[in-house]
Structure 1
Amino acid sequence: MKKARSPVDLDALPGFHIRRLQQIAVALFLQETEAHGITPVQYAALQTVHDTPGLDQRSLARTIGFDTSTIAGVVDRLEARGWVRRNASPTDRRVRLLTITDEGAALLGAVLPDMLRAQTRMLAPLPAAERTEFMRMLRVLVTANNELSRAPSDAA
């Protein structure tokens, strides 16, 4: 069967490769951290709560670039596993402030070498001299296009 000619070459589209790289990044993360049972999103949320104790869910979502409805489920799972705790805000009873538990902090310490190994594996195909430049260009693209996201990040 002869393949029809298309006016679009997927291989020339940055979005196609970015989507594939995201799939690869998640696969590598899950391979390396399998023993800990944590996802990349859960890791980002847990690390952010660790770094910013008392952060509310809405701010957590904005910090890591997730919509508020999705982050609620992420926090539910982190809380169910005993890794974070929700506490009522002293100034607004409707707001829940997040703190990491001792178990959550221990998990972060345990998962760190595996998470870093996943990051190293992701960049391994690039020559060492090009890895810093690739990361710089990635940050430029994310920062410049942040407001186009369905869930813009405050960190960008």
Structure 2
Amino acid sequence: MTDTTPSAHADASAPPVAPDALTSAPGYQVRRLYQAYLAVWARTVDPRLTGPQFAVLTTVHARPGSDQTSLASAVSLDTSTMADVARRLETRGLLERRTAPADGRRKLLYLTPEGERVLHEARGRVRELDERLLGRHEPADRVRLRRELTALADDWERLGAEDQIHSCRPSAQGG
């Protein structure tokens, strides 16, 4: 009897290659993109300033005094991650969290002068990174690609929200 398992035919000296079942999965390719993006972000933009932190600083700059929960939604972070990001930015002296006068549970966010400086410096490097990432594409293709990425993100966020709603419903069998 002949062993037909993939490992029986693999050349032991060749490095493993991801199988088609994996490489054809959109989530696998998205994860690869994100891993590559994180690596180039750290080298190009700032190894201490993460993409989510940059998003928070950018949004607070545009809307100073926004509450932490609303900001989390605006930058696509869950509230616990947002609280952690805000705490880290506050610890670094880039962000100030103030308690809302009318509601002691709400935290309002403001950039510090150091936060303004760090954001200003990072913006140029982020534009440079964006240019490197999309530089081989024609301007019209860049617009199309951004539109498609946005549509995918919107669709996948909706799917995630629907899954969350369905997982919170009691089963039809009374469970």
Q: 1:138 aligns with which of 146, 149, 158?
A: 149
Contact 1:86 1:97 in 2 (8 A): yes
Unaligned runs of 5+ in 1: 151-156
Distance 1:16 1:70 in 2: 23
Contact 1:28 1:121 in 2 (8 A): no
Q: Which structure has the greater CA radius of gyration?
A: 2
* Local SS of the residue matching 1:58: helix
Q: 1:19 aligns with which of 21, 25, 31?
A: 31
- CA distance 1:73–1:55, change in 2 (3 Å): same
Asked if 1:117 is matched to 2:124, the reply is no
CA RMSD of aligned residues (A): 2.2
Deviations 1:71-92 (A, max 9, x none): 1111111001111101110110
Unaligned runs of 5+ in 2: 1-7, 11-17, 162-175
Give the length in aligned residue pairs.
Answer: 148
Q: 2:89 aligns with which of 78, 95, 98?
A: 78
Q: 1:2 aligns with which of 5, 9, 12?
A: 9
Deviations 1:86-121 (A, max 9, x none): 111011012111111111111111111111111122
Pairwise mapping of residues 45-84 of structure 1 onto structure 2 (< 5 A)? 45-84=56-95
Identity %: 35
Deviations 1:53-78 (A, max 9, x none): 11111111111111111111111110
In the alignment, residue 131 of structure 1 is paired with which amino acid?
R
* Local SS of the residue matching 1:132: helix
Aligned to 1:153: none
In the alignment, residue 88 of structure 1 is paired with which amino acid?
T
Structure 1 length as normaliser, TM-score? 0.84
